[in-house]
Structure 1
Amino acid sequence: MKSKAVRKAVFPVAGLGTRFLPATKAVPKELLPVVDRPLIQYAVDEALEAGIETMIFITGRGKNAIEDHFDVAYELEATQKARGKDLSALEGTRLTPGNAIFIRQQEPLGLGHAIWCARDVIGDEPFAIILPDEFMHGSPGCMRQMVDAHEQIGGNLICALEVPMEQTSSYGVIDPGARNGALTEVKGLVEKPAPGTAPSNLILPGRYILRPEVMTILERQEKGAGGEIQLTDAMAAMIGQGAFHGLTFTGQRFDCGSKIGYVEANLALALERPDMAADMRKIAENLLAATPAA
């Protein structure tokens, strides 16, 4: 039987973004731009490309600007139109009440709790999860690749990414089974394993398609690593109850939750832009030539 279509995506955006202070004191980290589009816009564009119809944003205090970003900016649009300005830069920034839902996570109890906050909207459908600060760059996009695979195999599907073994202690890690091309059977999941104990170098870089049963598990789940309700623990509980695979993403990943990854993303995308690439390459070369090696 063909699996249900993935029509809904959850965006956990309630975090405080403390690694980017003071920039994030008043501006949500999800609105920090990569060149000229905020991280959350890239994430929503990725979902739209994948055929997602309903965007569910799990927000927190001080995150109203995210809702404003996806609303109509009447004064801005009217002024630009009156001046004969091009409004194409605002394409994709309007989400109607029918396809944008904002839910507040009132307590910082972790990613698993944030996902659980969307339970009434998800209902009995499979759904996607996209972490905006994990910037997945490619064509087709990461979620498009995952949705296409999910239509064929169903079950639970998570994005898998190979990293050096010494980095695995910072992520959820897959205990792999059989591999078939880009697909890897998931036999187990470990959240932030101690150095030297990871079962593989396949990490979970923030893209998931999960069965709705995960909500029932999160409902009764106790706190795990870091004193938070871990999504990885809930997913691990579903292993063996149906198909569960990791899909290796064909594209680039930038960890925009870190300053280095964020700067890298800006540089990489600027170097891809026809209107910027030549100038950016000269700037980078000049800076490298003028800066002594550390």
Structure 2
Amino acid sequence: MKAVIPAAGLGTRFLPATKAQPKEMLPVFDKPTIQYVVEEAVASGIDDILIITGKGKRSIEDHFDRAFELEYFLRENGKNDFLQEVESISELADIYYVRQKKQKGLGDAIYCARKHIDGEPFAVLLGDTITSSPVPCTRKLMDVYEKYQASVLAVEEVPREKIERYGIIKGQEVEPSLYSIEDMVEKPPLSEAPSNLAIMGRYILESEIFDHIQEVPPGFGGEIQLTDAMRLLNKIYGVVFQGRTYDIGNKVEWLKTSIDFALDDKEARVELLEYMKNVMKNM
């Protein structure tokens, strides 16, 4: 199976940090955000990845390419741990790139992948969302797809105050934590939300989605919404993700995510906790 990672957004909520670098390249602790996403796809058994980029996103391509001068320097100076880590990045998977020419929404970004997908089912992983769980989220969706032979997406329960930020599903539970989806609404007002189950950036889609993307008019925000196209699928399921989701959607959430990942690192944890204690004392 192939994976598509949309990463063409302008990242305006992170300005000025994203003036000259993609939001997807912002570091979360010790890796750029998009590397975690690629690693999830690889851990799920996918080795063919298409990243949808845009103007000013060249650093994404550079990150997953070889860095001969850096590798030579590390090798000559005996920095073998760093060398191994740097070399492994370029060997993660076969990674391809296509540009979204205009910012016309997630649906349009996915449509840019139609020639690469060539009629196959495929995974979609949003480039600014990180997941953490014993079984990768995408692998779980692949297992459900193999069982039901229908498109499937990941959902999670969100608090009422966050409902208006997400696409929300309406569905019937067919087995524990699995819903047959009847409808989806993009960023509804709380009073109109059919549930508190939010679409959270991981999908397995049948290739017929490309025909539906062509059919739908611009929706919320004047953009081609993937949610509107998915509503036209004959069958689609929603899996309640049992893990942690990190939506790198704004500066505070990005900072929280970086702190969480740093606390998971044995070397950084003790010093970081001590620093945080001292900060709290002085507040």
TM over 0.5, shorter chain: yes
| C-alpha displacement of 1:74 | 0.3
Structure 2 residue aligned with 1:279 = 271
Q: Secondary structure at the match of 1:58?
A: strand
Aligned equivalents of 1:195, 1:163: Cα separation in 2: 12
Structure 1 residue aligned with 2:106 = 111
Structure 2 residue aligned with 1:93 = 89
Tell whether 2:242 aligns with 1:253.
Answer: no
The structure carrying a bigger helix percent of its residues is: 2
Find 2:126's aligned residue among 131, 140, 143. 131
Structure 2 residue aligned with 1:290 = 282
Q: Is the 8 A contact 1:45 1:92 kept in 2?
A: no
Q: Is the 8 A contact 1:11 1:56 kept in 2?
A: yes
For 1:103, the aligned partner's letter is V
Aligned equivalents of 2:158, 2:87: Cα separation in 1: 35
1:1-294 pair list within 5 angstroms: 7-85=1-79, 86=81, 87-95=83-91, 99-238=94-233, 241-242=234-235, 244-291=236-283
Segments of 4+ moved more than 6 angstroms = none
Alignment RMSD (CA, Å): 1.4
1:24-66 CA distance string (max 9 Å, x none) = 1111111111111101100000000011121111111010110
- 79-88 vs 32-41, which deviates more? 79-88
Q: Secondary structure at the match of 1:103?
A: strand
Aligned equivalents of 1:56, 1:196: Cα separation in 2: 38
Identity %: 42
1:185-211 CA distance string (max 9 Å, x none) = 111101111232100000011111000
For these two proteins, the number of residue pairs brought into alignment is: 281
| C-alpha displacement of 1:250 | 1.6
Any stretches of 5+ residues in structure 1 without a counterpart? 1-6
Aligned equivalents of 1:155, 1:202: Cα separation in 2: 19
Q: TM-score, normalized by length of structure 1?
A: 0.92
Any stretches of 5+ residues in structure 2 without a counterpart? none
For 1:30, the aligned partner's letter is E
Relative to 1, partners in 2 of residues 1:110 and 1:155: Cα closer, same or farther, differing over 3 Å? same
